[in-house]
Structure 1
Amino acid sequence: MAEVDSSMPSKEFDALLEGIPRRHANLLVQFRTNHVPLQSYLHRFGRAPDATCPTCLQEPETVAHYLFACPTYSLHRAIHFRTLCFSGRTLRTLLNSRDALRPLFAYINTTGRLRTVFGTLPDPCPDDDDTV
């Protein structure tokens, strides 16, 4: 978790969560703490037969794999994270920046990977015109 935010919980993170829907906040916390229901997490608790990514079958499905490496979602990453440029390629930026909220949740929606658990997530910042 230190690679995401060494000071969590922090006032900065509280400010990031302020004004976004509870479902989004819950999911963001799960991503930051590696407690999101991806295969590697589910396998740790005996809820999945192995940790392998179910879409690419190439490596364990971790938070970093899902967000940055899975070839299945490369087009979705290119579309949704392009506005973040290079900075959007780190967990620290993607999970700590208000500017990243809209692209992050659009990516999660588009991949459909977590839809069975979280449903379709609406725009987390509908009134925030500065967010891309």
Structure 2
Amino acid sequence: MALTDHNITPLTLPLYTSKRLIAHTCQSIWNEFLTPVLQTTSVGQYRSDSSPQPWVRKISCKLDVVLTHLHLGQTRLTTHLQRMSLAPDPYCPWCISIPETMNHFMLECPRFHLHRVVLQEELRALGVTTFDLPTLLGATGIDSSWQSAVLCLICAFLNKTNQLQRL
């Protein structure tokens, strides 16, 4: 059956437009599939779709890897290591009786209190008033123009606490 049988005129699209349409369609289908999966994992706290994430900065491979591990929850924190049978217990090495989760490490551990106070002050100077994991790791709820600055502050926090190598 030819196109003229249905009175349809074929459109001639430039190659780059065709590629963009195909990419957009594939991205939409992937996001439809990905959304329910993200909602059932901890990654869903920091991601809602498959778009490029602001933490991939391409400045330092080491920092990009650590930030990606933090987003995925695949770190060398004792809670994760114990889950994989690589550590005898899930407790923080400094707090002894509290599990070393990402929340504890980033927001609660007294060992990093002074560095955390500095981080909070620097974030407030940028107008960021929320201090929680989704804000710190995913830079959610932050204007896109400030996301890279927030991520730089997180990287500085990890460097100052000497935990970058550990994660």
Percentage of identical aligned residues: 28
Mean CA deviation greater in 22-31 or 79-88: 79-88
Kept in 2: contact 1:76–1:111 (CA 8 A)? yes
Task: Give the TM-score of the pair, scaled to structure 2.
Answer: 0.61
Which residue is 2:90 aligned to?
Answer: 51
Q: Does 1:109 align with 2:159?
A: yes
The SS at the match of 2:45 is coil
- Once residues 122 and 60 of structure 2 are traced to their aligned partners in structure 1, the CA distance between those partners, rounded to angstroms, is 23
Counterpart code for 2:161: T
- Once residues 53 and 17 of structure 1 are traced to their aligned partners in structure 2, the CA distance between those partners, rounded to angstroms, is 28
Out of 88, 91, 99, the residue aligned to residue 133 of structure 2 is 91
Kept in 1: contact 2:55–2:67 (CA 8 A)? no
Structure 1 unaligned spans of 5+: 119-132
Structure 2 unaligned spans of 5+: 1-42, 139-146
- Once residues 81 and 88 of structure 1 are traced to their aligned partners in structure 2, the CA distance between those partners, rounded to angstroms, is 9
CA-CA distance at 1:4 after TM superposition:
1.6
Which residue is 1:3 aligned to?
Answer: 45
**Residue by residue, what CA displacement relative to the aligned partner does 1:26-48 show, whole Å, maximum 9, x if unpaired?**
11110001001111111111111
CA-CA distance at 1:88 after TM superposition:
5.1
Out of 112, 124, 127, the residue aligned to residue 73 of structure 1 is 112
Which residue is 1:124 aligned to?
Answer: none
Structure 1 stretches of at least 4 aligned residues deviating more than 4 Å after TM superposition = none
Which residue is 1:122 aligned to?
Answer: none
Which residue is 1:123 aligned to?
Answer: none
- Once residues 34 and 59 of structure 1 are traced to their aligned partners in structure 2, the CA distance between those partners, rounded to angstroms, is 18
Task: Give the TM-score of the pair, scaled to structure 1.
Answer: 0.75
Kept in 1: contact 2:55–2:151 (CA 8 A)? no
- Once residues 107 and 88 of structure 1 are traced to their aligned partners in structure 2, the CA distance between those partners, rounded to angstroms, is 17
- Once residues 29 and 54 of structure 1 are traced to their aligned partners in structure 2, the CA distance between those partners, rounded to angstroms, is 23
- Once residues 88 and 101 of structure 1 are traced to their aligned partners in structure 2, the CA distance between those partners, rounded to angstroms, is 14
Higher relative contact order, structure no. (Cα contacts within 8 Å, ≥ 6 residues apart):
1
Kept in 1: contact 2:58–2:64 (CA 8 A)? no
- Provide the aligned C-alpha RMSD in A: 1.9
CA-CA distance at 1:76 after TM superposition:
1.0
